[in-house]
Structure 1
Amino acid sequence: MIYTAFVSGALSIEHLHLHLRLCLLPSSAENNLTVLPKFGTLCVIERFHPPSGLTFIWPPNPVLSIHSAVSPLPAKPISSTAPRHTTPTMAPSAVANDAESPVTEVRGAAVAPKETSHTKHGHELVGKTPLQALSHGDVVLAGIPAFPDFASKRQWQLEHMAAAFRHWAREGYVDGMSGHISIRDPEYHDAFWTNPLGRHFGLLKASDMILVNLDGAVVGGNRSKPPNTAGFLIHAAVHKARPDVHAVCHSHSLHGKAWSVFGRRLEMLTQDACKFRGDAHSVYNSYGGVVLGPEEGEAIAKALGPRGKGCILRNHGLLTVGETVDEAAFLYTSMERSCRVQLLAEAAAANGLEKVLITDEEAQFNFDVESDPEICYCEFQVYYDLEDELTNGAFKK
């Protein structure tokens, strides 16, 4: 859209471009602004930012330049204690100083993140489970079900595993043949189910899954395709190291890969990121290439730690675990989106905007509620129900 801009305070056109880039994240040239369809015209944008003092004088017959649609940015007792942690470091220097970065033309230094004062909230949840706390009224949301026998639980696990893959396909996590999920068998704890190599996530069904023991032998399930070697080595190592873990998810999703290159933990920037507070997530700060030997899988399992829910694999991707495949799959999506938020926040911070972190106390409270296995299970059910409705249950076969 060609425009003439008058800005109160005698700000330059460069400052106008900077303001719009940081707030709306479009691409812009010297005299051309690409408008996100979500916001419509610049007239609408003015209403989103009244404090900025921006006004726009329109030329006759303005030329519209609109790109294709862009995705918008979109039971345990609760602890009353909140252990402290150190404040995370500044934005990666690669974001702020890379000579090829499109933000290097903009003046302004990155500012270290800080925690600010906040209104003291009353967390009167003592004695309640997170599901009880989040369910208003007399009806409490149903949590993880119980089963009368191993066979019915096994089928339920495989159906939910297939639904997790279908959800991943909708989220855009497909990267060729890469990516895998595993579930420990409910009866034979030294074996786990995993997906076949070379089958699109969006096509997987319960009957496609393969049962592999911890020694690497295929002992059941679909034998028409092999399991992924790298997948087996990573998942077997995690299942051996963490008997409390029943499901493991790993993929090469876009924003997880992008954030992994910094070898840094996630900051507590949003409520969602608090699921990974403290030792609930870690960084495997090494890269040994495609995993074709047991040593790399064992190193990843060690980096995950005894209480980790997620691990950022440097130059590689993300890994999450859970008591159910539903929990692990939901945590994966949450970690991937937290990486996306972190990348966007770092880009803004590199241009001088200041990050405000969630306080330790509030982060701990959020962790106690939202990282609960029952809560994470229930969070995934909205995706499961959608897959069931859209496919008429085809993934259950």
Structure 2
Amino acid sequence: MSSTTVTQTATAESHVELRSADDGVLNWNVAKTEGLHVIPTFTDKEAERTWAKQHMAAAFRTFARLGWADGASGHISLRDPVNPEWFWINPYAKHFAQMKSSDLVLVDHHGRPVQPTPHKVNAAGFIIHSSIHRARPDINAACHMHSPAGRAWSSFGKGIEMLNQGFGGIVLAEEEGERLADALGKDYLNLVLQNHGLLTCGSTVDEAAAYFIALERACQNQILTESAAANGIEKKYVGKEEAEYTCRCTSTPGCAYMQFQPEYDLTVELSGGKVLE
């Protein structure tokens, strides 16, 4: 069989458009990301709903694999593509590692289920996410977990220092959820909640999940660095110009979306496709 025949067969089976030898495969031209950081778009809102829910369920299983499942605590929300006044959230006391697309609960901003469901929803989680989705129409997804490093660093009430180039109690009152939405303001997507944990947002679940992974790892790096600094090792900071350049190049919805795709693909494979059900 000739190499040409092999290429044609592979293309027909996988529907992958192969690059020519003259095209180049390096991704270093970060100023030109057409075709590199592509978030799927849909004309069929029902199809978009199915796709988004599958990615949401995969985010839960990814967080479980990374060790961030926390009993009945922790939640992700997703603005419904069909009706933006509704949002999806995880069922109460369902282990992240067992989450499937069909387990997710669709609620309105009064906490009423839009579809019949056997599940309950975490009240604190509902208040947080409902407040964010009402205040920020540009945010379609939000993640809140009590991950180890995030919870530990949140005890200091400080933000993250620019050290590398990587990425008040149970909320049962509506005003607490509104305070979180106010803290996000009009532009921010990530919060360190003092003595509580982390909250990240995005235009897709993938973006919010990628930011959460990055922020948790930044907290872990901060704690390790503080431990070394306490023993007399001087910290060196990334320069303002370098930090701003990296932010311009990588802090885009498309870049964050792509950052989560390896985790998504692995999660689907490890679940044998069950996460998509």
> Where does residue 200 of structure 1 map in the other structure?
95
Tell me by how many angstroms 1:148 deviates: 2.7
Q: 1:322 aligns with which of 182, 188, 202?
A: 202
Say yes or no: does 1:255 pair with 2:135: no
Q: C-alpha root-mean-square deviation of aligned residues, in Å?
A: 1.4
> Whole-Å Cα distance in 2 between the matches of residues 165 and 213 of structure 1?
21
> Whole-Å Cα distance in 1 between the matches of residues 185 and 37 of structure 2?
30
> Where does residue 170 of structure 2 map in the other structure?
290
> Where does residue 54 of structure 2 map in the other structure?
159
Say yes or no: does 1:223 pair with 2:103: no
> Where does residue 343 of structure 1 map in the other structure?
223
Tell me by how many angstroms 1:350 deviates: 1.1
> Where does residue 358 of structure 1 map in the other structure?
238
Is the CA contact (8 Å cut-off) linking 2:37 and 2:255 kept in structure 1? no
Is the CA contact (8 Å cut-off) linking 2:77 and 2:142 kept in structure 1? yes
> Whole-Å Cα distance in 2 between the matches of residues 302 and 350 of structure 1?
34
> Whole-Å Cα distance in 1 between the matches of residues 184 and 84 of structure 2?
20
Q: Where do 4+ consecutive residues of structure 1 move more than 3 Å?
A: none
Q: How does 1:121-160 map to 2 (within 5 A)?
A: 128-129=31-32, 131-132=33-34, 140-141=35-36, 143-160=38-55
Say yes or no: does 1:234 pair with 2:124: no
Q: 1:269 aligns with which of 152, 163, 167?
A: 163
> Whole-Å Cα distance in 2 between the matches of residues 208 and 388 of structure 1?
16
Q: Tell me the TM-score normalized by structure 1.
A: 0.61
Tell me by how many angstroms 1:125 deviates: 6.2
> Whole-Å Cα distance in 2 between the matches of residues 177 and 205 of structure 1?
16
More helix by share: 2
Question: What SS does structure 2 have at the residue aligned with 1:320?
Answer: strand
Q: 2:74 aligns with which of 169, 173, 179?
A: 179
Letter in 2 for 1:228: N
> Where does residue 393 of structure 1 map in the other structure?
273
Question: What SS does structure 2 have at the residue aligned with 1:302?
Answer: helix
Letter in 2 for 1:240: R
Which structure 2 segments of 5+ residues have no match?
1-27
Larger mean CA deviation between 152-161 and 303-312 belongs to 303-312
Write out per-residue CA displacement over residues 283-320 of structure 1, whole angstroms, 9 at most, x where no aligned residue.
xxxx1x21111011111111122111210000100000
Larger radius of gyration: 1
Letter in 2 for 1:229: A
Is the CA contact (8 Å cut-off) linking 2:70 and 2:146 kept in structure 1? yes
Tell me by how many angstroms 1:215 deviates: 2.1
Which structure 1 segments of 5+ residues have no match?
1-123, 133-139, 274-286
Say yes or no: does 1:305 pair with 2:177: no
Is the CA contact (8 Å cut-off) linking 2:37 and 2:257 kept in structure 1? no
Tell me by how many angstroms 1:272 deviates: 1.2
Write out per-residue CA displacement over residues 124-159 of structure 1, whole angstroms, 9 at most, x where no aligned residue.
969x34x35xxxxxxx33511111311100000000
> Whole-Å Cα distance in 2 between the matches of residues 299 and 148 of structure 1?
35
Tell me by how many angstroms 1:269 deviates: 0.6
Question: What SS does structure 1 have at the residue aligned with 2:195?
Answer: coil
> Whole-Å Cα distance in 1 between the matches of residues 266 and 201 of structure 2?
23
Letter in 2 for 1:356: K
Question: What SS does structure 1 have at the residue aligned with 2:114?
Answer: strand
> Whole-Å Cα distance in 2 between the matches of residues 266 and 305 of structure 1?
18
Tell me by how many angstroms 1:392 deviates: 1.9
Letter in 1 for 2:198: L
Q: 2:247 aligns with which of 332, 351, 367?
A: 367
Tell me by how many angstroms 1:200 deviates: 0.1
Letter in 1 for 2:245: F
Tell me by how many angstroms 1:165 deviates: 0.3
Write out per-residue CA displacement over residues 62-86 of structure 1, whole angstroms, 9 at most, x where no aligned residue.
xxxxxxxxxxxxxxxxxxxxxxxxx
Tell me by how many angstroms 1:187 deviates: 1.9
> Whole-Å Cα distance in 2 between the matches of residues 142 and 243 of structure 1?
23
> Whole-Å Cα distance in 2 between the matches of residues 387 and 141 of structure 1?
22
> Where does residue 109 of structure 2 map in the other structure?
214
> Whole-Å Cα distance in 2 between the matches of residues 390 and 377 of structure 1?
20
Letter in 2 for 1:339: C
